[in-house]
A and B are shown apart, each in its own frame.
Chain A
């Protein structure tokens, strides 16, 4: 199996933690994996792009229109990185909006891209864990059960990677994400 995943968002909002969880979930399941992160010069609030390649790859970089999946933790970062997504790819986008702009809808349809909108910030805010929107997206993604990314596998890695004092709330947000995913599928 080969899988190229792009995680995008803004700094300080858990993009890198989510990407770490995805990478190590794959390794735990016996796959080879390599990842590369771009976070520029700013510590918080700047664009963050994390690329993960699962399978027989040597380099951690993803080519234009080669990515299988984009997990967008912020809507405008999705537009900026849409060029990564291959024809027939999948996108999950964190937004409070109910639909994408029409031009984007047409583009995604033309490119056979399956996409899902999820109000991850809203889900996280309900649990009073605004910083944990990343868990809602991971939950939603796990509902697709793509390769090694089953809800069980991802949750196991969350348990390993999230500090104990935040774990309970994070798992709750993750569960909400799964349910949101199941409702849309």
Chain B
């Protein structure tokens, strides 16, 4: 029978492996780069017609404990999260090895070397080694599928929880993955020495003579990189790679390998784990002695640089890559528009931030983790510590000023998914202690940054079934908070007025936090609904070139043209929300009359 294959990202490959291994329950909280694993489980359970319970939990602790509980009752379970999400699940993680499980438990935690979309780099393997939980570190989507299959069966057989650590390069790389009928995948663990003329990996170092001068010990994506680099530099005869898949306990064969080689280069991400386990002998080249950079993603160029340098040092000859510097010399002379991350054109958060900054330019703006962290560009987010800190930092800031007898505007922002993930205890605390700040809950009806997962108030499950929907305003009122306003953030004048009204309310003696729910669907969900009359406004004619909108509005569809000294709308990106017109001082002064007319037109018609 021929095996079909399907191109998919590493996260779907993990899901595929788990479904083939007979997973019965999967719970997760979305977080880049882990978010696509659970939707992958849903896709493959439908394809294979399997009865698998799948759920978006409200946070990672819930996800891990639900999976742990089901595993205790004999089910094959798994939970998925990003590396900083694992911190939220730290308490149950401490205990997973102590309590017996009857089923299987796989914890997938995705690290973010760089970091690309996290507050910090963090190595899941360190936590795993701290608690002695076996951890697998796959090097490609194909291997991730195999390892997921293997790990769930291993956990079930040994009644031990297992961690799969992926990184964003593995989770988001795309590869063709074979789709085996459930239960039939044959997995060989690719670890140990890989010789280019031999198909299989061998754990034994005795079977093959080692003439190479450099041994490379590599795990995860670093293995794949060094595999390509030694071919690229044509140094295969001088280098032998030992691929680490199970990070600890350290294989005896790895110790043997390290002993036999003249020099050992350790490549792993994002922290020193294998290197630390191997000890710090003179022959080890790694992060400790500066051969490998201490932070950031290990890229192709970094690996090529390190291997080239070591070849020179070992007297093998000049294999070093020398970059053509003239490329940078020419490019830096061109005026290239930098493209920092921005909220999408038409994003309702942008409108909220504009109103917040406009109402109280000098306020303190505690922010949170989500798309809306990007409010920093509009000067309307000052802090973002972790999920929930939008509320807790606002509390601490209030307390600090209050103690000195001052009341200053504190405008906090959080998202709707974050509200339920981590903001309930803090907001209750703030209400009970009558802490006075304005909290804008940016309710766009989705977990947008991680890929549009539903939230509790959407009332839709990961399977797409409509269910119980939670109203944020009812929870807020339930805490005893009386100032609760629900506003469409596109109505910028009303937002500004309400924020000012909220601060007036806070001056009252018994006031509690003032909550504004800025409710409008994410622009990625409401695409196409805004085609309107913005075309009738000749932005380029009216523009005075003051750049005020560039600073206060920061819209990717509104670039400033340095040649004409005016903004130019990018038709490919603009969604015609028209909110930028509020950010135009010319419009305020009555110069852009057409713009004002259009806004009036829209207000009358929506």
Interface residues of A (CB under 8 A from B): 10, 12-13, 20, 23-24, 27, 32-38, 40-47, 57-66, 76-77, 79-80, 82-83, 87, 101, 103-104, 106-107, 110-111, 121, 130-131
In the complex, chain A residues whose CB is within 8 Å of the CB of B174: 20, 23, 34-37, 60
Indicate the size class of the contact surface on chain B: 35 or more
Q: Determine whether the beta carbon of B225 is less than 8 Å from that of A61.
A: yes
Q: Determine whether the beta carbon of A42 is less than 8 Å from that of B556.
A: yes
**22 residue pairs A–B, Cβ–Cβ below 8 Å:** A13-B572, A36-B172, A41-B341, A41-B374, A42-B343, A42-B344, A43-B371, A44-B345, A44-B524, A59-B300, A60-B169, A60-B174, A61-B169, A61-B299, A63-B229, A64-B300, A64-B323, A83-B323, A87-B324, A103-B330, A110-B326, A121-B572
With A34-B175, A46-B556 known as contacts, the answer to whether A58 contacts B227 (CB < 8 A) is yes
Q: Determine whether the beta carbon of A63 is less than 8 Å from that of B232.
A: yes
What's the least CB distance linking A149 to chain B, in Å? 17
CA distance A13 to B570 in the complex (A): 12
Q: Determine whether the beta carbon of A12 is less than 8 Å from that of B140.
A: no
Q: Determine whether the beta carbon of A43 is less than 8 Å from that of B300.
A: no
What's the least CB distance linking A51 to chain B, in Å? 9
What's the least CB distance linking B65 to chain A, in Å? 30
Q: Determine whether the beta carbon of B339 is less than 8 Å from that of A46.
A: yes
In the complex, chain A residues whose CB is within 8 Å of the CB of B336: 76, 79-80
4 further A-B pairs in the complex, CB-CB below 8 A; given A34-B173, A64-B301, A111-B324: A34-B174, A36-B169, A77-B339, A83-B328
What's the least CB distance linking A40 to chain B, in Å? 5
Which of A34, A47, A59 has most chain B Cβ within 10 Å? A59
Q: Determine whether the beta carbon of A40 is less than 8 Å from that of B116.
A: yes
In the complex, chain A residues whose CB is within 8 Å of the CB of B288: none
In the complex, chain A residues whose CB is within 8 Å of the CB of B5: 27
When C-beta atoms are compared, the residue in chain B nearest to A105 turns out to be B330
Which B residues from 29 to 65 make CB contacts under 8 A with A?
none
Which of B172, B227, B339, B344 has most chain A Cβ within 10 Å? B339
In the complex, chain B residues whose CB is within 8 Å of the CB of A24: 7
CA distance A59 to B174 in the complex (A): 11
Q: Report the 9 A-B pairs with minimum CB-CB distance, sorted nearest first.
A: A45-B556, A59-B224, A58-B224, A41-B341, A58-B227, A63-B300, A61-B300, A42-B341, A60-B173
CA distance A39 to B304 in the complex (A): 24
What's the least CB distance linking A91 to chain B, in Å? 13
Q: Determine whether the beta carbon of A103 is less than 8 Å from that of B333.
A: yes
B532 at the interface (CB under 8 A from A): no
With A59-B221, A63-B301 known as contacts, the answer to whether A46 contacts B341 (CB < 8 A) is yes
When C-beta atoms are compared, the residue in chain B nearest to A111 turns out to be B324
In the complex, chain A residues whose CB is within 8 Å of the CB of B466: none
What's the least CB distance linking B217 to chain A, in Å? 16
Q: What 0/1 readout, one digit per residue, does chain B (207-245) give for beta carbons within 8 Å of chain A? A: 000000000000001011101110010000000000000
Of A59, A63, A76, A107, the residue contacting B337 (CB under 8 A) is A76
With A42-B341, A46-B339, A57-B228 known as contacts, the answer to whether A130 contacts B572 (CB < 8 A) is yes
Q: What 0/1 readout, one digit per residue, does chain B (334-369) give for beta carbons within 8 Å of chain A? A: 101101111111000000000000000000000000
What's the least CB distance linking B344 to chain A, in Å? 4
In the complex, chain A residues whose CB is within 8 Å of the CB of B573: 10, 12, 44-45
B509 at the interface (CB under 8 A from A): no
When C-beta atoms are compared, the residue in chain B nearest to A76 turns out to be B336
When C-beta atoms are compared, the residue in chain B nearest to A43 turns out to be B344
What's the least CB distance linking B321 to chain A, in Å? 8
What's the least CB distance linking B207 to chain A, in Å? 22
Q: Determine whether the beta carbon of B344 is less than 8 Å from that of A45.
A: yes
With A43-B448, A83-B327 known as contacts, the answer to whether A62 contacts B344 (CB < 8 A) is no
B139 at the interface (CB under 8 A from A): yes
CA distance A38 to B408 in the complex (A): 41
B73 at the interface (CB under 8 A from A): no
What's the least CB distance linking B490 to chain A, in Å? 18
Q: What 0/1 readout, one digit per residue, does chain B (396-418) give for beta carbons within 8 Å of chain A? A: 00000000000000000000000
Q: Determine whether the beta carbon of A107 is less than 8 Å from that of B327.
A: yes
What's the least CB distance linking B190 to chain A, in Å? 11
In the complex, chain B residues whose CB is within 8 Å of the CB of A13: 572
B276 at the interface (CB under 8 A from A): no
B420 at the interface (CB under 8 A from A): no
When C-beta atoms are compared, the residue in chain B nearest to A41 turns out to be B341
With A10-B339, A46-B339, A60-B169 known as contacts, the answer to whether A79 contacts B374 (CB < 8 A) is no
Q: Determine whether the beta carbon of A66 is less than 8 Å from that of B232.
A: yes
In the complex, chain A residues whose CB is within 8 Å of the CB of B344: 12, 42-45
CA distance A20 to B430 in the complex (A): 49
Which of A45, A77, A83 has most chain B Cβ within 10 Å? A45
B557 at the interface (CB under 8 A from A): yes
B331 at the interface (CB under 8 A from A): yes
When C-beta atoms are compared, the residue in chain A nearest to B336 turns out to be A76
In the complex, chain B residues whose CB is within 8 Å of the CB of A62: 300
What's the least CB distance linking B369 to chain A, in Å? 11
In the complex, chain B residues whose CB is within 8 Å of the CB of A76: 336-337
In the complex, chain A residues whose CB is within 8 Å of the CB of B225: 58-59, 61
